[in-house]
Amino acid sequence: MNNTIIFDTEATGIKEPILIEAAWVELESFAPFAFTNPFVQRYNPEKPISLGALATHHIMDEELVDCPLAASFTLPKHVDYIIGHNVDFDWGVIGKPEVKRICTLSLARKLWPNLDSHNQSALLYYLERSTAREQLRNAHSALIDVGICAAILNHICQELGIKTVEALYAESEKARIPITMPFGKHKGSLLSDMPRDYKEWLLKQGDIDPYLRKALSV
């Protein structure tokens, strides 16, 4: 099953992010759940890291001077699926390669909708409270975050009875389709309750999220 990796990046910031660290482990099996071939590498983004990003991952510009350029990053050729928490951000940081994306954030929101937070740290405290603090000691290092994502993924697969990456991808695709409006004057409203003319107007916008477009088209 080495066509599937659990993947994470650290970047220069939220606006026009450039890669500064990439990490992954290969998903070896679902039964038993196992990982192999960990990878981590830092990169020179050739632009300053924002203070907000620096405060999150603590990777300083001067530490990256002699690292490979961010533009040199490529995924292994055998990878068909990448798994990540808010995976579209990491996928965008590496240039949106042609791979299938599985989002543990969307799956967690669907499985545990009543939690007040669904970030990785919060989920680990919910799922593995007795060991969460130790596991999170170096959170926001890309390889540590990959391990945390793997722990969350293990719980997701057990909860849903998932045994194959194909089944996991199908569940992720369903989970990513919103049922409430994520922004605008109708934010938080059920999509099924939104005025038809507003839905039709949104569908004419060129930059709409493809999963929101799918939900609005129903």
Is residue 93 located within the same domain as residue 123? yes
Is residue 159 located within the same domain as residue 185? no
Residue where one domain finishes, among candidates 176, 191, 207 = 176
Helices assigned H by DSSP within the chain:
51-57, 87-93, 104-111, 120-127, 129-135, 142-160, 165-175, 196-203, 210-216
Residues facing residue 183 across a β-bridge: none
User: Are the C-beta atoms of residues 151 and 128 closer than 8 Å to each other?
Assistant: yes
Is residue 89 located within the same domain as residue 20? yes
Q: Following CA atoms 148, 2, 168, 86 in sequence, which dihedral angle do they give, to the nearest 10 degrees?
A: 40
Is residue 11 located within the same domain as residue 46? yes
Reported pTM: 0.89
* Exposed/middle/buried for residue 173 (C-beta within 10 Å: 0-12, 13-18, 19+): middle
Is residue 171 located within the same domain as residue 189? no
Is residue 127 located within the same domain as residue 182? no
Domain of 217 in residue numbering reads as: 178-218
Amino acid in the structure at residue 133: R
Is residue 134 located within the same domain as residue 60? yes
- Residue 147's CB is within 10 A of a number of other CB atoms, namely 19
Domain tally for the chain?
2
Is residue 17 located within the same domain as residue 114? yes
Round to whole Å and give the CA distance between 183 and 192: 15
Is residue 108 located within the same domain as residue 188? no
Is residue 19 located within the same domain as residue 80? yes
Helix, strand, or coil here: 131?
helix
* Per-residue pLDDT tens digits of the chain, which is 218 residues long: 569 999 999 999 999 999 999 999 999 888 678 899 999 999 999 999 999 999 999 999 999 999 999 999 999 999 999 999 999 999 999 999 999 999 999 999 999 999 999 999 999 999 999 998 888 887 778 899 999 999 999 999 999 999 999 999 999 999 999 888 888 888 888 888 888 888 888 888 878 888 888 888 87
Is residue 52 located within the same domain as residue 144? yes
Round to whole Å and give the CA distance between 29 and 82: 15
